[in-house]
Amino acid sequence: MAITETKSDSFKTRGEFAEVLHHLVRDPLGLTGLIIVSLIFTAAIFADWIVPYDPIALNIKDRMQGPSMNHLMGTDQLGRDTLSRVIMGGRIALQVALPTIGGAITIGVLLGMIAGFGPRWLDNLIILFFDTVRSFPTVMFALAVVALVGPSLTTVIFVIMMTSIPTYGRVVRTQTLTLRNSEFILAERSMGASVGRILAVHILPNVLGPLAVLAAMDIPTVVGLEAGLSFLGMGVKPPTPSWGSILNDGYSLIRNTPWIIIAGGVPLILTTLGFTFLGEALRDVVDPKLRGRR
Amino acid sequence: MLKYVGKRLALAAVIAALSVTLLFIIIHLIPGDPARTMLGPRATPELIADLQLRMGLDQPLPVQILIFFGNMLSGDLGMDMFSNRPVATIVFEQLPHTLALIFASIIWSAVLGIFLGCFSAVRRNSLADRLTGVLAVSFIAAPAFVIALYSLLFFAVELRWFPAIGAGEPGDIGDQLWHLVLPSFAIGLSWVGYIARLVRASMLEIMGEGHIRTARAFGLPEKWITYRYALRLAILPTITVIGVGMGFLLSAAVFAEIVFARPGLGKLVIDSITTRNYPVVMGSVLVSTILFVASTTLSDIVNALLDPRIRQSS
Amino acid sequence: MTADILKITDLSIHYDTPRGALKALRHVNVSVPRGKIVGVVGESGCGKSTLISTIIRLLANNAKVASGSIVFDDQDLLALSETQMRGLRGTDISMVFQDPMQTHNPVLTIGRQMTDIQYRDKSTTAEKRNRAADMLALVGIPDPVQRLDQFPHEFSGGMRQRIAIAMALMARPKLLIADEPTTALDATLEVQIIKRLHELQAEIGCSILFISHHLGVIAELCEEVVVMYAGEVVEQGSVRDVFHSPSHPYTKALLDCDPGHIKEKTRSLPTIPGEIPDLVNLPAGCAFAPRCSQVFDACRSNRPAWNECKPGHHALCHLAETETVS
């Protein structure tokens, strides 16, 4: 009984992936999201080949030029090509977002499972930890850390990761708690399956869907936070081109070079829209109960 | 009811105490020394040791936390080493500006969000509903500081409809409100989306409940049922979310204050980081953390006031 | 003025589903005479709820009236506009729902809800509150004036059902539809509420369409009974005829399953084997044939006729006529 259960599970998962993709493409919102997200990933991966100019090379002769055929999005006060910086900025954004979310999911899943499967006191302790972390206003917390160790990419990743752990941990905990007492898990346990096996084989596959949805919805937040901190000068250090630092350059010369702000903001808005649309569509697919409500 | 409030306040106190402690511990775990940070790279060891002594950094960590808590409870957040003024005074001077911004944002976004949510729920699955849905998702996704920058660029710099910087003349309420328009628009926009979706979802859920069927079976007018019977219930989760939203708005306010050069907690923190004024940074972060805990607590209590079931279950 | 306050003729309701039309009600005939109590019995899924929802027009969006008419107090309900229909609800037709825990709005006081439903009345709020308090007293709620200011969760399930009955009868309706009003309550409360309902019915003089799967309650309260199975009326007659000489095998099976009717001590309660047929793909003959203990060849191919067993007692069964003869 246990063996057939596992088999059908993994079989189902493969079929489900194709089905999820099928549903996503049929939902206009999902398709839009998918296209935008693929474009962003492509641009970030092949950034070195796409950029028309070196994004950090100074060119004082061509400084503060408006959009033209040579510089599609103009240049900044140091003569750097804005388009090249924007494309490179996308790579930085993903370089921050992916490890941050990966780390937060890993720690969140671990803590959530421990809370859900462990003794009551441990559960309460972890929940209290989640509540505490959630009670920091993220940016304020980030600024407090930056104030001490100084701005850097690592600081940004660390802070955002810390504050996103509870989001994932809570979902995993709830799922673990409900599954823990379900019949098939009780049957497995009575047959002597180890807790680790149950967690890995039964509970993990069941939380993957909700986690994927959460991650897709969380990427905009993380990208926005990174850009925000860099905009404040508390994130990525110059001359590294982050969307946030591009916006900061544009902000200080808003009356002279307004195109920089526009060029730096559009990819940010597109990224957040793309991932949010994708996450929304994904949630409708993963959770059919919600589909009926739309 | 009193029992519920008491319990909720106790929990809030525990969470606030824990978050302050956690903040303290994290700050101590990461490399970096407040005294060294404040004095800059050229400080002599003697100067650093002296400042550490004055800030109480030579004490063991638990003692530092206890001393800090003792001071905090008596309203003492330490001294600003540069201006020799109490940190609490500096922080509370800036706080009203931030609170005004946050409340303005909550109010306009809640009003519009609840309206859009109802509008959508009543026209479920119509084209208008779908468009509102896409609009709401787009609002949610919009990063506050980009919206702030764009509205600064278009409405203040280019069109000159609204003032670009500052919080307005002190004492002139009209001027101050005028200065609030763009910043609160920028940080409230995503809340319009959140609240609209939340209200729509809970409206649809409630419209399917038994008591709504009863109201219909008694022939109550449909408008009456929607707005007096269903909306009253559908608003409850919104209140909780607004409480939690304070935390996000506190974060977003930092950006709005920088972009529009408004005084406030966020601007204070950024300025203090630039001048390495560590005690002021810590003080502001603490106050905003406690503010956040207080607002979630308050929203829970308001919820209990509006929903007799919660009062009972406690 | 016709003798029946409610006359449902040949009513068929279909739900649109992804699998095709779900035929929830098929050619249903039910009549409620003025001042009488008619019971409807059947398992869950037999179409009782669809029947009620059709009468007061609170059907789900995917439901369609495929045939038939509903005449209430000499007007065709299916021909009324939405506004006209709303005008009848809560005035001439009232309802008591099954689950008293979900009948009332949880964040409004009982008093508020009871005054709200009198919104058509031009009297003052104080008068409306008095009327509400009188009504609460009538259904046996102590301290009615004080309790008007309480919220639904401050009442027990039995109390809430009394309040629901008070609300339903406040406008002195011509027809009360009670959808399993005592199912969610325990036995002693059930008896009390049934008794009170009976008294109030006699006082107001309304008719009641009483839906239940509890045969004892039907026998106690009703004069006429309608037995439904899988969207059809399978037997109809006076309570005496139907319960003492049931003609349809389904009615017999129901009576055998009822704990009150079991005379010998058995180890387990009898049940009717099998399940309700798929209402999207119905069997060709009698809908009950797959579960019937007296099934024969004709049942599987021919739809049974509405046979008269004796005046006023009919059954939808091939065997119905022969039974009365023997």
Render pLDDT for C301-310 as a digit per residue (tens, 0 to 9).
888 888 888 8
Chains B and C touch (3+ CB pairs under 8 A): yes
Burial C51-80 (b: 16+ CB within 10 A, else e): bbbbbbbebeeebebbebebbbbeeebeeb
CA distance C72 to A194: 66
For residue B275, tell me if it sits in a domain.
Answer: yes
Residue C43 distance to chain B (closest CA, Å): 21
**Structural domains of chain A, count:** 1
> Does B98 share its domain with B54?
no
Residue A91's pLDDT is what?
85
Distance from CA of C306 to the nearest CA of B (A): 33
Produce one character per residue of C113-147: b if its CB has 16 or more CB atoms within 10 Å, e if not.
bbbbbbeeeeeeeeebbebbbebbebbbbeebeeb
- B256 close to B82: Cβ distance less than 8 angstroms: no
**Residues B60 and B92 occupy one common structural domain:** no
pLDDT average, residue stretch C45-73: 88
Contact partners for chain A, using 3 or more CB pairs closer than 8 A, are B
Would you say residue B314 has pLDDT above 50?
A: no
> Residue A99 pLDDT > 70, yes or no?
yes
Q: B314 near B247, Cβ under 8 Å?
A: no
Q: Tell me the nearest-neighbour CA distance from C60 into chain B, angstroms.
A: 10
Residues B149 and B293 placed together within one structural domain of the fold: yes
CATH of the domain at B252: 1.10.3720.10
Question: Both B44 and B166 in a single domain?
Answer: no
The CATH number for A279's domain is: 1.10.3720.10
Residues B233 and B106 in one domain: yes
Last residue of a domain, one of B21, B49, B73: B73
pLDDT at site A73: 67
Same domain, B22 and B109: no
What mean pLDDT value characterizes chain B? Answer: 82
Domain span at A50: 20-291
Mean pLDDT of A158-168: 87
B199, B236: one domain: yes
Residue B169 is assigned to a structural domain of this protein: yes
Provide the pLDDT for residue A11: 42
Residue A225 has pLDDT above 90, yes or no: no
Contacts of A131 in chain B (CB under 8 A): 15
More confident residue, B66 or B212: B212
Domain for residue B82, yes or no? no
Q: Listing from the earlier edge strand, what are the strands of the sheet with C63-72?
A: C20-33, C4-17, C63-72, C75-76
Give the model's pLDDT for residue C259.
65
pLDDT at A104 over 90: yes
Of B220, B306, B308, the CB nearest to C116: B220
Q: Is C92 on the interface with B (CB under 8 A)?
A: no
* Distance of alpha carbon C178 from the chain centroid: 6
Query: Considering CB atoms only, which of B209, B219, B236 is closest to C90?
Result: B219
The answer to whether residue A9 is domain-embedded is no
DSSP lists the bridge partners of residue C177 as C95, C209
Task: Kindly state whether residue B79 falls inside one of the protein's structural domains.
Answer: no
Residue C89 and residue C228: Cα distance in Å, rounded?
25
Q: In angstroms, what CA-CA distances link A60 with A69, A134, B16? A: 18, 46, 52
Residue C241: what residue type? Answer: D
Last residue in a domain, options B42, B73, B104:
B73
Same domain, B95 and B23: no
Say which residue, A181 or C325, is predicted with more confidence. A181
On whether residue A139 sits in a domain, the answer given is: yes
Which of C145, C201, C141, C195 shows the shortest CA–CA distance to C168?
C201
**Mean pLDDT, range A168-180, rounded to an integer:** 84
Q: What is the band of C148 on the pLDDT scale with cuts at 50, 70, 90? A: very high
- Please tell me the predicted confidence (pLDDT) of residue C207: 93
Is residue C210 predicted with pLDDT exceeding 50? yes
Say if the Cβ atoms of A232 and B250 lie within 8 Å.
no
Within-domain flag for B244: yes
> How far is B297 from chain C, CA to nearest CA, in Å?
21
pLDDT digits (tens, 9 = 90+) for B146-202: 888 888 777 777 777 777 777 777 777 777 777 787 888 888 898 899 899 889 988
Most confident of A196-205, C146-155, C299-308: C146-155
Query: What is residue A5's predicted lDDT score, i.e. its pLDDT?
Result: 38
φ, ψ of residue C307 to 5 degrees: the values are: -85, 140
Same domain, B19 and B157: no
| Dist. CA C317–CA A109, nearest whole Å | 61
CA separation for the pair A163, B19 (Å, rounded): 12
Q: Give whichever of A126-135, C236-245, C279-288 has the largest mean pLDDT.
A: C236-245
Mutation for testing the B interface, residue in C101, C107, C155, C169 having most B CBs under 10 Å: C107
pLDDT exceeds cutoff 60 at C264: no
Q: Which pLDDT value is given to residue A1?
A: 34
In percent, the amount of chain A with pLDDT more than 90 equals 4
Q: Pairing relation of β-strands C306-310 and C75-76?
A: unpaired
- B92-110: per-residue pLDDT in tens? 888 888 998 999 999 999 9
- Split into its structural domains, chain B has a count of 2
**Lateral strand order in the sheet of C175-179:** C93-96, C175-179, C207-212, C37-41, C224-229, C232-238, C313-316, C306-310
pLDDT at A294: 34
Residue type, A108: G
Task: Single out the residue of C172, C22, C163 nearest to residue C90, CA to CA.
Answer: C172
Q: What's the average model confidence in pLDDT over C247-251?
A: 88
Task: Tell me, yes or no, whether B197 and B50 share the same domain.
Answer: no
Of A131, A138, A265, the CB nearest to B15: A131
Question: Is A113 a member of any domain?
Answer: yes
**Confidence band of C113 (pLDDT split at 50, 70, 90):** very high
Flag whether pLDDT at C266 surpasses 70. Answer: no
Please tell me the distance from the alpha carbon of residue A204 to that of residue C124, in angstroms, as a whole number: 62
- Give CA–CA dist C176/C156, Å, rounded: 23
Q: Which candidate from A131, A140, A247 shows the least CB-CB separation from B285?
A: A140
Domain extent at residue B59? 2-73
Q: Is the pTM of this model over 0.90?
A: no
Is the model's pLDDT at A17 over the cut of 90? Answer: no
Q: Which is more confident, A126 or A189?
A: A126
- Cβ–Cβ < 8 Å for A176, A112: yes
Same domain, B148 and B269: yes
If asked whether residues B50 and B165 sit together in one domain, one would say no
Confidence of residue B111 (pLDDT cuts 50, 70, 90): very high
- Residues 6+ positions from A156 with CB-CB distance below 8 Å: A96, A142, A225, A226, A229, A230, A235, A236
Angle between helices A82-117 and A258-286 (to 10 degrees): 30
User: Which one of B14, B48, B73 terminates a domain?
Assistant: B73
| A10 inside domain | no
For residue C185, give both structure tokens. Answer: 């309550």
